[in-house]
Amino acid sequence: MTDLLFYLLSSFTLLFGALVVVNPFSRNPVTSAMFLALAIISTAGLYVLLHAFFLAAVQILIYAGAIIVLFLFVIMLLDLREEEQKRFRLLGLTGGVLGSLAIATAIIATITVAEPGAGKTPEIEGTTRQLGNQLFADYVLPFEIMGLLLLVAMMGVILLSKKQLR
């Protein structure tokens, strides 16, 4: 059952990821953003299979809920219609396909040689309680710095989107 779900969710992730990058039916960036949301939700399903329940919820809330909405707002604000007529350059296409194939082959060859998961039995659960215990016991300072970082990011965005930077 778990194996079936794994193959289903990972093929969904890869299919929707491919449709974000190259969509044969539509060149509209809004479609890409929607498929990115679907790819992210499938990844959240993979997190559930890995017993990372809290991260799956965070992934859906922050990525699919906030980041994709931000992308959609900007796409609609900029009204990117001219993208639909553009074609890919031949050099970029061959270079991109060859480069990413080379990277994928190198990583997969390394994984098959190294066998990193041999002899391990997973038993941890990434529930909210366990993550929270470790977060507020060992990682309080990074957590506080993260709050500061988000504040700085918010101020930066407000500054950047002002009409004149005076």
Partner 1 sequence: METGLEHYLIVSALLFSLGLLGVVLHRNLILMFMSLELMLNAANLTLVAFSRFNNDLDGQLLVFFIIAVAAAEVAIGLALIVALFRRRQTTSTEDIATLKL
Return the residues of window 129-158 that contact partner 1 according to CB under 8 A.
130-131, 134-135, 139, 142, 146, 149-150, 152-154, 156-157
Q: What angle do CA 110, 96, 74 make, to 5 degrees?
A: 110
- Least Å distance, CB 74 to partner 1, is 5
Site for partner 1 in 94-113 (CB under 8 A): 95-97, 99-101, 103-104, 107-108, 111-112
The reply to whether 12 sits near partner 1 by the rule CB under 8 A is no
Q: Give SS3 for 135.
A: helix
The reply to whether 31 sits near partner 1 by the rule CB under 8 A is no
Among 70, 76, 81, 140, binds partner 1 (CB under 8 A): 70
Q: Choose between 161 and 166: whose C-beta lies nearer to partner 1.
A: 161
Q: Choose between 14 and 25: whose C-beta lies nearer to partner 1.
A: 14
Q: Choose between 86 and 166: whose C-beta lies nearer to partner 1.
A: 86
| CA dist., res. 86 & res. 8, Å (int) | 33
- Least Å distance, CB 36 to partner 1, is 5
Q: Which two tokens stand for residue 131?
A: 């993550």
The footprint of partner 1 on this chain (CB under 8 A) covers a number of residues equal to 80
CB 27 within 8 A of CB 83: yes
Site for partner 1 in 49-68 (CB under 8 A): 49-52, 54-55, 58-59, 62-63, 66-67
Burial group, residue 54, by CB count within 10 angstroms (0-12, 13-18, 19+): middle
For the four alpha carbons of 41, 45, 50 and 51, in that order, the dihedral sign comes to positive
Rg (CA), the chain: 20
CB 42 within 8 A of CB 9: yes
